[in-house]
Structure 1
Amino acid sequence: MRWWLGVVVWLALFGGENGSVVSPEDQGLRAGNWGPGPGLLESSDPATEPSPEDLNATDLMTKLGSAFDVQFMSVNEPPEGLQAIDTSQFSFRRKKNGRLVPMGPMPQYIREVELGVVKLADGSRLKTQVPVKLKRKLRQLLWALTACPVGFKWRDLGARFWPRWIREGLCPRSSCSVPAGMKCRPLAAQHKTLLRWHCRSPACQWIKVQYPVVVQCSCACSSRSPH
Protein backbone atom coordinates (compact mmCIF):
# COMPACT_ATOMS: atom_id res chain seq x y z
CA MET A 1 0.00 0.00 0.00
CA ARG A 2 3.02 2.30 0.41
CA TRP A 3 3.46 2.84 -3.32
CA TRP A 4 0.43 5.10 -3.60
CA LEU A 5 1.34 6.91 -0.37
CA GLY A 6 4.60 7.74 -2.11
CA VAL A 7 2.66 9.16 -5.06
CA VAL A 8 0.80 11.56 -2.78
CA VAL A 9 4.00 12.68 -1.08
CA TRP A 10 5.72 13.16 -4.44
CA LEU A 11 2.82 15.29 -5.74
CA ALA A 12 2.83 17.34 -2.55
CA LEU A 13 6.56 17.98 -2.68
CA PHE A 14 7.16 18.23 -6.35
CA GLY A 15 0.51 16.06 -6.17
CA GLY A 16 -32.13 -24.32 15.17
CA GLU A 17 -34.10 -25.10 17.16
CA ASN A 18 -34.22 -25.84 20.95
CA GLY A 19 -32.45 -22.56 21.63
CA SER A 20 -29.44 -23.34 19.47
CA VAL A 21 -27.82 -20.62 17.38
CA VAL A 22 -28.40 -21.10 13.64
CA SER A 23 -26.04 -19.73 11.00
CA PRO A 24 -27.16 -16.67 8.99
CA GLU A 25 -27.19 -18.67 5.76
CA ASP A 26 -29.56 -21.24 7.24
CA GLN A 27 -32.12 -18.52 7.93
CA GLY A 28 -31.88 -16.56 4.69
CA LEU A 29 -29.33 -13.93 5.79
CA ARG A 30 -26.62 -12.93 3.38
CA ALA A 31 -23.83 -10.52 4.29
CA GLY A 32 -22.99 -8.02 1.55
CA ASN A 33 -19.54 -6.46 1.00
CA TRP A 34 -21.08 -3.06 1.74
CA GLY A 35 -22.62 -4.04 5.04
CA PRO A 36 -26.38 -4.56 4.74
CA GLY A 37 -27.43 -7.64 2.87
CA PRO A 38 -30.10 -7.70 0.16
CA GLY A 39 -33.76 -7.68 1.04
CA LEU A 40 -34.82 -10.86 2.83
CA LEU A 41 -37.12 -13.18 0.94
CA GLU A 42 -40.14 -13.59 3.19
CA SER A 43 -43.34 -15.53 2.72
CA SER A 44 -46.36 -13.36 1.90
CA ASP A 45 -48.61 -15.70 3.87
CA PRO A 46 -49.82 -13.77 6.95
CA ALA A 47 -50.30 -17.09 8.73
CA THR A 48 -46.52 -17.38 9.00
CA GLU A 49 -46.17 -14.06 10.82
CA PRO A 50 -45.99 -13.86 14.61
CA SER A 51 -49.22 -12.88 16.34
CA PRO A 52 -49.43 -10.05 18.92
CA GLU A 53 -49.23 -12.72 21.63
CA ASP A 54 -45.99 -14.01 20.12
CA LEU A 55 -44.51 -10.49 20.26
CA ASN A 56 -44.62 -10.10 24.01
CA ALA A 57 -41.51 -8.00 24.66
CA THR A 58 -40.99 -9.31 28.19
CA ASP A 59 -41.04 -12.95 27.09
CA LEU A 60 -38.79 -12.29 24.10
CA MET A 61 -36.30 -10.29 26.16
CA THR A 62 -36.11 -13.20 28.59
CA LYS A 63 -35.53 -15.62 25.72
CA LEU A 64 -32.81 -13.47 24.16
CA GLY A 65 -31.20 -12.82 27.54
CA SER A 66 -27.74 -11.27 27.69
CA ALA A 67 -27.46 -11.37 23.88
CA PHE A 68 -29.58 -8.21 23.68
CA ASP A 69 -27.19 -5.39 22.75
CA VAL A 70 -28.75 -2.00 23.35
CA GLN A 71 -26.08 -0.32 21.18
CA PHE A 72 -27.02 -2.34 18.11
CA MET A 73 -30.62 -3.41 18.72
CA SER A 74 -33.90 -1.61 19.24
CA VAL A 75 -37.34 -2.97 20.10
CA ASN A 76 -39.00 0.22 18.79
CA GLU A 77 -38.24 2.22 15.68
CA PRO A 78 -35.23 4.45 16.45
CA PRO A 79 -36.19 8.12 16.88
CA GLU A 80 -33.48 9.24 14.44
CA GLY A 81 -35.14 7.17 11.71
CA LEU A 82 -33.74 4.67 9.25
CA GLN A 83 -32.06 7.10 6.84
CA ALA A 84 -29.63 8.84 9.19
CA ILE A 85 -26.06 7.51 9.12
CA ASP A 86 -23.91 7.88 12.23
CA THR A 87 -20.41 8.91 11.13
CA SER A 88 -19.01 9.50 14.62
CA GLN A 89 -16.31 6.90 13.89
CA PHE A 90 -14.65 9.24 11.38
CA SER A 91 -11.09 10.12 12.45
CA PHE A 92 -11.59 13.87 11.96
CA ARG A 93 -14.05 16.51 13.08
CA ARG A 94 -14.80 19.74 11.27
CA LYS A 95 -14.17 23.04 13.06
CA LYS A 96 -16.30 26.14 12.55
CA ASN A 97 -13.77 27.50 10.06
CA GLY A 98 -14.09 24.32 7.99
CA ARG A 99 -10.73 22.80 8.91
CA LEU A 100 -10.52 19.10 9.79
CA VAL A 101 -9.04 18.28 13.18
CA PRO A 102 -7.73 14.74 13.88
CA MET A 103 -9.45 12.70 16.56
CA GLY A 104 -7.41 9.97 18.19
CA PRO A 105 -3.90 8.71 17.45
CA MET A 106 -2.47 8.76 13.94
CA PRO A 107 -2.19 5.29 12.33
CA GLN A 108 1.24 3.68 12.42
CA TYR A 109 1.48 3.34 8.62
CA ILE A 110 0.96 7.12 8.27
CA ARG A 111 3.60 7.95 10.87
CA GLU A 112 6.10 5.72 9.07
CA VAL A 113 5.81 7.57 5.73
CA GLU A 114 9.26 8.96 4.91
CA LEU A 115 8.95 12.66 4.07
CA GLY A 116 12.59 13.66 4.42
CA VAL A 117 13.93 11.50 1.60
CA VAL A 118 12.64 10.57 -1.86
CA LYS A 119 13.98 7.38 -3.44
CA LEU A 120 14.56 7.81 -7.18
CA ALA A 121 14.20 5.17 -9.90
CA ASP A 122 17.96 4.59 -10.13
CA GLY A 123 18.09 3.75 -6.43
CA SER A 124 19.60 7.01 -5.28
CA ARG A 125 18.01 9.00 -2.49
CA LEU A 126 17.16 12.68 -2.74
CA LYS A 127 16.93 14.62 0.50
CA THR A 128 14.07 17.07 0.83
CA GLN A 129 13.77 20.06 3.09
CA VAL A 130 10.25 19.76 4.42
CA PRO A 131 9.31 21.92 7.42
CA VAL A 132 7.90 20.10 10.42
CA LYS A 133 4.56 21.87 10.11
CA LEU A 134 4.23 20.84 6.46
CA LYS A 135 5.12 17.24 7.35
CA ARG A 136 2.31 17.20 9.88
CA LYS A 137 -0.16 18.59 7.36
CA LEU A 138 0.93 16.10 4.70
CA ARG A 139 0.45 13.20 7.09
CA GLN A 140 -2.96 14.48 8.08
CA LEU A 141 -3.84 14.76 4.38
CA LEU A 142 -2.79 11.14 3.81
CA TRP A 143 -4.72 10.08 6.88
CA ALA A 144 -7.91 11.76 5.64
CA LEU A 145 -7.55 10.42 2.08
CA THR A 146 -7.01 6.83 3.20
CA ALA A 147 -9.49 6.73 6.08
CA CYS A 148 -12.20 4.07 5.99
CA PRO A 149 -14.50 4.97 8.89
CA VAL A 150 -17.53 2.82 9.62
CA GLY A 151 -20.90 4.53 9.27
CA PHE A 152 -23.80 3.04 11.24
CA LYS A 153 -27.41 2.98 10.09
CA TRP A 154 -30.55 1.40 11.52
CA ARG A 155 -32.28 -1.27 9.44
CA ASP A 156 -35.77 -2.67 9.79
CA LEU A 157 -35.58 -6.46 9.44
CA GLY A 158 -39.33 -6.94 9.54
CA ALA A 159 -41.83 -8.58 11.87
CA ARG A 160 -40.19 -12.01 11.70
CA PHE A 161 -37.11 -10.79 13.59
CA TRP A 162 -36.85 -9.60 17.16
CA PRO A 163 -35.68 -7.05 17.86
CA ARG A 164 -36.67 -6.00 14.35
CA TRP A 165 -34.38 -2.93 14.25
CA ILE A 166 -30.63 -3.49 14.10
CA ARG A 167 -27.76 -1.04 13.68
CA GLU A 168 -25.63 -2.05 10.71
CA GLY A 169 -22.11 -0.96 9.80
CA LEU A 170 -21.43 0.56 6.38
CA CYS A 171 -18.12 1.07 4.59
CA PRO A 172 -17.70 4.24 2.46
CA ARG A 173 -18.12 3.74 -1.27
CA SER A 174 -15.52 6.32 -2.27
CA SER A 175 -11.97 5.49 -3.29
CA CYS A 176 -9.38 5.43 -0.50
CA SER A 177 -6.21 5.52 -2.61
CA VAL A 178 -4.21 7.84 -4.85
CA PRO A 179 -4.48 7.12 -7.74
CA ALA A 180 -8.08 6.01 -7.29
CA GLY A 181 -8.83 2.32 -7.47
CA MET A 182 -8.71 0.88 -4.00
CA LYS A 183 -11.94 0.77 -2.01
CA CYS A 184 -13.00 0.59 1.61
CA ARG A 185 -13.95 -3.01 2.39
CA PRO A 186 -15.30 -4.70 5.53
CA LEU A 187 -12.42 -5.93 7.66
CA ALA A 188 -14.12 -7.17 10.81
CA ALA A 189 -17.65 -8.02 11.88
CA GLN A 190 -19.41 -8.88 15.10
CA HIS A 191 -22.19 -11.46 15.08
CA LYS A 192 -25.26 -10.37 17.00
CA THR A 193 -27.77 -12.94 18.19
CA LEU A 194 -31.38 -12.19 17.25
CA LEU A 195 -34.65 -14.10 17.43
CA ARG A 196 -36.13 -15.34 14.16
CA TRP A 197 -39.74 -16.46 13.74
CA HIS A 198 -39.34 -19.90 12.21
CA CYS A 199 -42.21 -21.95 10.86
CA ARG A 200 -41.94 -25.65 10.23
CA SER A 201 -45.14 -27.60 9.93
CA PRO A 202 -47.17 -27.80 12.01
CA ALA A 203 -45.89 -25.08 14.36
CA CYS A 204 -43.91 -21.86 14.49
CA GLN A 205 -41.49 -20.72 17.17
CA TRP A 206 -38.76 -18.21 17.92
CA ILE A 207 -35.24 -19.50 17.36
CA LYS A 208 -31.87 -17.81 17.79
CA VAL A 209 -29.91 -16.74 14.70
CA GLN A 210 -26.72 -14.78 14.20
CA TYR A 211 -26.58 -11.55 12.21
CA PRO A 212 -23.21 -10.11 11.06
CA VAL A 213 -22.58 -6.41 11.76
CA VAL A 214 -19.58 -4.73 10.13
CA VAL A 215 -17.55 -2.89 12.80
CA GLN A 216 -14.31 -2.14 10.94
CA CYS A 217 -13.41 -1.20 7.36
CA SER A 218 -10.04 -1.04 5.62
CA CYS A 219 -8.64 0.15 2.32
CA ALA A 220 -8.13 -2.79 -0.04
CA CYS A 221 -7.79 -3.61 -3.72
CA SER A 222 -10.98 -4.03 -5.70
CA SER A 223 -12.22 -7.61 -5.94
CA ARG A 224 -12.21 -7.17 -9.71
CA SER A 225 -8.60 -6.09 -9.80
CA PRO A 226 -6.34 -8.44 -11.84
CA HIS A 227 -3.73 -8.02 -9.10
Structure 2
Amino acid sequence: MLLFKSSRMSGFGYSNPLWMSVDQPSESASGSDSPKLKKAEAIHLQKLEKDAADLHLSSLPSDIAETFRVWPVNLATCKLHHRWVDLAPAFWPRWLRQTDCERPEKERSCSFPKGMKCVRAQTVQIKILAWNCLEIREGSKNLKGEKCEHTEIETSGEVKRCLWRQVSHPVVTSCIGLCK
Protein backbone atom coordinates (compact mmCIF):
# COMPACT_ATOMS: atom_id res chain seq x y z
CA MET A 1 0.00 0.00 0.00
CA LEU A 2 2.88 2.39 0.74
CA LEU A 3 4.22 2.09 -2.81
CA PHE A 4 0.74 2.79 -4.14
CA LYS A 5 0.50 5.86 -1.90
CA SER A 6 3.79 7.37 -2.97
CA SER A 7 3.18 6.92 -6.69
CA ARG A 8 -0.45 8.13 -6.72
CA MET A 9 -0.41 10.92 -4.14
CA SER A 10 1.61 13.40 -6.16
CA GLY A 11 -1.49 14.38 -8.15
CA PHE A 12 -3.63 14.87 -5.04
CA GLY A 13 -2.40 18.38 -4.33
CA TYR A 14 -0.98 18.04 -0.83
CA SER A 15 0.09 21.62 -0.31
CA ASN A 16 -0.90 22.84 3.13
CA PRO A 17 1.80 22.05 5.71
CA LEU A 18 0.10 24.43 8.16
CA TRP A 19 -2.79 21.96 8.61
CA MET A 20 -1.37 18.59 7.54
CA SER A 21 1.81 16.56 7.54
CA VAL A 22 2.91 13.30 5.93
CA ASP A 23 5.37 12.62 8.77
CA GLN A 24 4.90 13.07 12.49
CA PRO A 25 5.45 16.79 13.22
CA SER A 26 8.05 17.73 15.79
CA GLU A 27 6.97 19.25 19.08
CA SER A 28 8.35 22.55 17.81
CA ALA A 29 5.68 22.59 15.07
CA SER A 30 3.05 23.89 17.46
CA GLY A 31 0.28 26.12 16.20
CA SER A 32 1.28 29.12 18.27
CA ASP A 33 4.62 29.25 16.43
CA SER A 34 3.04 29.31 12.97
CA PRO A 35 3.64 32.65 11.20
CA LYS A 36 0.34 32.35 9.30
CA LEU A 37 -1.67 31.78 12.48
CA LYS A 38 0.19 34.58 14.27
CA LYS A 39 -0.64 36.92 11.38
CA ALA A 40 -4.35 35.98 11.50
CA GLU A 41 -4.40 36.53 15.28
CA ALA A 42 -2.65 39.89 14.85
CA ILE A 43 -5.22 41.07 12.29
CA HIS A 44 -8.08 40.09 14.62
CA LEU A 45 -6.34 41.82 17.54
CA GLN A 46 -5.83 44.99 15.47
CA LYS A 47 -9.56 45.14 14.74
CA LEU A 48 -10.38 44.83 18.43
CA GLU A 49 -7.78 47.46 19.34
CA LYS A 50 -9.18 49.85 16.72
CA ASP A 51 -12.67 49.46 18.18
CA ALA A 52 -11.28 50.09 21.67
CA ALA A 53 -9.34 53.15 20.46
CA ASP A 54 -12.63 54.68 19.29
CA LEU A 55 -13.95 54.71 22.87
CA HIS A 56 -14.37 58.28 24.12
CA LEU A 57 -12.45 58.30 27.38
CA SER A 58 -10.90 61.78 27.18
CA SER A 59 -12.32 62.74 30.58
CA LEU A 60 -10.07 60.12 32.25
CA PRO A 61 -6.32 60.38 32.91
CA SER A 62 -4.41 58.85 29.98
CA ASP A 63 -3.03 55.85 31.94
CA ILE A 64 -6.51 54.91 33.21
CA ALA A 65 -8.02 55.45 29.75
CA GLU A 66 -5.39 53.12 28.28
CA THR A 67 -6.23 50.48 30.91
CA PHE A 68 -9.90 50.73 29.96
CA ARG A 69 -8.98 50.32 26.29
CA VAL A 70 -6.75 47.27 26.85
CA TRP A 71 -9.06 45.49 29.30
CA PRO A 72 -11.98 44.73 26.92
CA VAL A 73 -9.54 43.67 24.18
CA ASN A 74 -7.89 41.16 26.53
CA LEU A 75 -11.28 40.01 27.75
CA ALA A 76 -12.74 39.54 24.26
CA THR A 77 -9.76 37.69 22.81
CA CYS A 78 -10.55 34.04 22.17
CA LYS A 79 -7.56 31.87 21.46
CA LEU A 80 -7.30 28.74 19.35
CA HIS A 81 -5.72 25.62 20.81
CA HIS A 82 -3.72 23.37 18.48
CA ARG A 83 -2.47 19.82 18.58
CA TRP A 84 -1.33 17.32 15.96
CA VAL A 85 -3.52 14.21 15.61
CA ASP A 86 -2.49 10.91 14.03
CA LEU A 87 -5.37 9.72 11.82
CA ALA A 88 -3.71 6.31 11.18
CA PRO A 89 -2.45 4.85 7.89
CA ALA A 90 -5.94 4.79 6.36
CA PHE A 91 -5.68 8.56 5.79
CA TRP A 92 -3.27 10.64 3.76
CA PRO A 93 -1.69 12.81 4.90
CA ARG A 94 -1.72 10.93 8.16
CA TRP A 95 -1.16 13.89 10.51
CA LEU A 96 -3.63 16.78 10.85
CA ARG A 97 -3.50 19.85 13.04
CA GLN A 98 -6.63 19.80 15.18
CA THR A 99 -7.76 23.24 16.34
CA ASP A 100 -10.55 24.41 18.59
CA CYS A 101 -11.54 27.34 20.76
CA GLU A 102 -10.47 27.51 24.37
CA ARG A 103 -11.16 24.27 26.13
CA PRO A 104 -14.54 24.03 27.86
CA GLU A 105 -12.95 22.86 31.12
CA LYS A 106 -11.44 26.32 31.49
CA GLU A 107 -14.87 27.95 31.04
CA ARG A 108 -13.29 31.37 30.68
CA SER A 109 -15.83 34.06 30.02
CA CYS A 110 -14.96 36.52 27.26
CA SER A 111 -17.14 39.33 28.59
CA PHE A 112 -17.92 41.44 31.61
CA PRO A 113 -20.26 40.79 33.19
CA LYS A 114 -19.81 37.07 32.56
CA GLY A 115 -22.10 35.37 30.11
CA MET A 116 -20.25 35.12 26.82
CA LYS A 117 -18.13 32.12 25.86
CA CYS A 118 -15.59 31.54 23.12
CA VAL A 119 -17.17 29.65 20.22
CA ARG A 120 -16.12 28.73 16.69
CA ALA A 121 -16.43 31.73 14.38
CA GLN A 122 -14.94 30.34 11.19
CA THR A 123 -13.96 26.96 9.81
CA VAL A 124 -12.39 25.92 6.55
CA GLN A 125 -12.57 22.56 4.81
CA ILE A 126 -9.30 20.89 3.94
CA LYS A 127 -9.14 17.88 1.64
CA ILE A 128 -7.53 14.63 2.71
CA LEU A 129 -7.61 11.12 1.29
CA ALA A 130 -9.27 8.14 3.00
CA TRP A 131 -8.56 4.52 2.06
CA ASN A 132 -11.96 2.84 1.51
CA CYS A 133 -12.60 -0.84 0.87
CA LEU A 134 -15.90 -2.34 -0.27
CA GLU A 135 -16.74 -6.02 -0.52
CA ILE A 136 -17.36 -7.00 -4.12
CA ARG A 137 -19.33 -9.94 -5.39
CA GLU A 138 -18.43 -12.08 -8.35
CA GLY A 139 -19.34 -10.36 -11.59
CA SER A 140 -19.84 -6.90 -10.05
CA LYS A 141 -18.74 -3.83 -11.99
CA ASN A 142 -16.69 -0.87 -10.88
CA LEU A 143 -18.35 1.52 -8.49
CA LYS A 144 -21.06 3.47 -10.34
CA GLY A 145 -19.99 1.61 -13.49
CA GLU A 146 -17.05 3.93 -14.03
CA LYS A 147 -13.53 2.88 -14.80
CA CYS A 148 -11.23 3.75 -11.92
CA GLU A 149 -7.89 2.75 -10.51
CA HIS A 150 -8.28 0.52 -7.52
CA THR A 151 -6.67 -2.33 -5.63
CA GLU A 152 -8.40 -5.64 -5.07
CA ILE A 153 -7.62 -7.42 -1.82
CA GLU A 154 -8.64 -10.98 -0.93
CA THR A 155 -9.08 -11.74 2.77
CA SER A 156 -10.79 -14.82 4.23
CA GLY A 157 -12.31 -15.70 0.87
CA GLU A 158 -13.85 -12.23 0.42
CA VAL A 159 -12.66 -9.90 -2.30
CA LYS A 160 -12.56 -6.20 -1.49
CA ARG A 161 -12.06 -3.33 -3.89
CA CYS A 162 -10.08 -0.54 -2.28
CA LEU A 163 -9.37 2.99 -3.45
CA TRP A 164 -8.45 6.42 -2.16
CA ARG A 165 -11.37 8.82 -1.80
CA GLN A 166 -11.06 12.54 -1.25
CA VAL A 167 -12.90 13.69 1.88
CA SER A 168 -13.37 17.09 3.53
CA HIS A 169 -12.16 17.71 7.06
CA PRO A 170 -13.24 20.86 8.97
CA VAL A 171 -10.59 23.00 10.66
CA VAL A 172 -11.44 25.83 13.07
CA THR A 173 -9.60 28.99 12.01
CA SER A 174 -11.02 31.59 14.41
CA CYS A 175 -13.10 31.96 17.56
CA ILE A 176 -15.31 34.73 18.89
CA GLY A 177 -17.05 35.53 22.16
CA LEU A 178 -20.83 35.00 21.94
CA CYS A 179 -23.70 34.64 24.39
CA LYS A 180 -24.30 31.09 25.59
Alignment TM-score > 0.5, same fold: yes
Q: Distance in 1 between matches of 2:31 and 2:2?
A: 32
Map 1:1-227 → 2, pairs under 5 A? 51-54=1-4, 56-60=5-9, 62-65=10-13, 67-80=14-27, 86-87=31-32, 105-107=46-48, 108-115=50-57, 129-173=59-103, 174-202=108-136, 203-222=161-180
CA distance in 1, matches of 2:31, 2:79: 10
Give the number of aligned pairs. Answer: 144
Alpha-carbon distance in 2 for matches of 1:212, 1:178: 31
CA contact 1:197–1:204 (8 Å) conserved in 2: yes
Letter in 2 for 1:204: C
Shift of 1:216: 0.8
**Cα offset, 1:104, TM superposition:** 5.6
Runs of 4 or more, structure 1, over 4 Å off, are 88-91
Percent identity between the two aligned chains: 29
CA distance, structure 2, for counterparts of residue 58 and residue 104 of structure 1: 44
Deviation at 1:215, TM superposition (A): 0.5
Relative to structure 1, is the Cα distance of residues 87 and 70 closer, same or farther in structure 2, using a 3 angstrom cutoff?
closer
Higher strand proportion, which one?
Answer: 2
Q: Unaligned stretches of 5+ in structure 1? A: 1-50, 92-102, 117-128, 223-227
TM-score after normalising by structure 1: 0.56
Letter in 2 for 1:105: Q
- Over aligned residue pairs, what C-alpha RMSD do you find? 2.6
